[in-house]
Structure 1
Amino acid sequence: MTTPGTPGSPRTPGSPRPRGALVREIIEANRYLVLSTANAAGRPWASPVYFAHIGFTEFFWVSSPEVTHSRNIAGRPEVGLAVFDSHAPIGTGQGVYMPAVAEELAGAGAARGIEAFSARSLLHGGRAWTADDVRPGGEMRLYRAVAESHGVLAKDGRPDHRVTVSLADGHPDR
Structure 2
Amino acid sequence: MPELADIARGVIDANTYLALGTADAAGTPWVSPVFYTPDGYTDFYWVSSPDTRHSRNIAVRPDVSIAIYDSHSPIGGAEAVYLSATATEVPDEEIDDLAVLFNGRLPEPKRIGIDELRAPGRIRLYRATVTEHSVLVRGSDPRYGRGTDSRMTVTIDGQR
Match of 2:103? 118
Match of 1:135 in 2: 118
Classify the secondary structure of the residue corresponding to 1:109: helix
The TM-score normalised by the length of structure 2 is: 0.88
Aligned residues: 153
The answer to whether structure 1 residue 38 and structure 2 residue 27 are counterparts is no
Question: Which deviations, in whole Å up to 9, do the C-alpha atoms of 1:61-86 show, x marking residues without a partner?
Answer: 00000010000000000000110000
Q: Which residue of structure 1 lines up, in the alignment, with residue 141 of structure 2?
A: none
How far the C-alpha of 1:108 sits from its partner, in A, is: 1.5
The farther-off stretch of 35-44 and 113-122 is 113-122
Give TM-score scaled by structure 1 length.
0.82
Residue 59 of structure 1 is aligned with which of 20, 39, 44?
A: 44
Secondary structure of 1:88's aligned partner:
coil
For the pair 1:102 / 2:87, whether they are aligned, the reply is: yes
Unpaired stretches in structure 1, ≥5 consecutive residues: 1-15
Q: Secondary structure of the equivalent of 2:55? A: helix
Matches within 5 A, 1:19-98: 19-98=4-83
Q: CA deviation at 1:153?
A: 1.7
**RMSD across aligned positions (CA):** 2.0
Deviation per CA, 1:98-146: give whole Å up to 9, x if none. Answer: 0000000131222332111100012xx6522232120022100000000
1:34, 1:83 within 8 Å by CA — same for their partners in 2?
yes
Identity of aligned pairs, percent? 41
Stretches (4+) displaced over 4 A: none
Deviation for aligned residue 1:17: 7.9
Structure 2 residues not aligned, in runs of 5+: 139-144
Which AA in structure 1 matches 2:127? R
Letter paired with 1:101: T
Alignment pair present for 1:145 and 2:128: yes
Which protein has the larger Cα radius of gyration, Structure 1 or Structure 2? 1
Name the structure with the higher strand share: 2
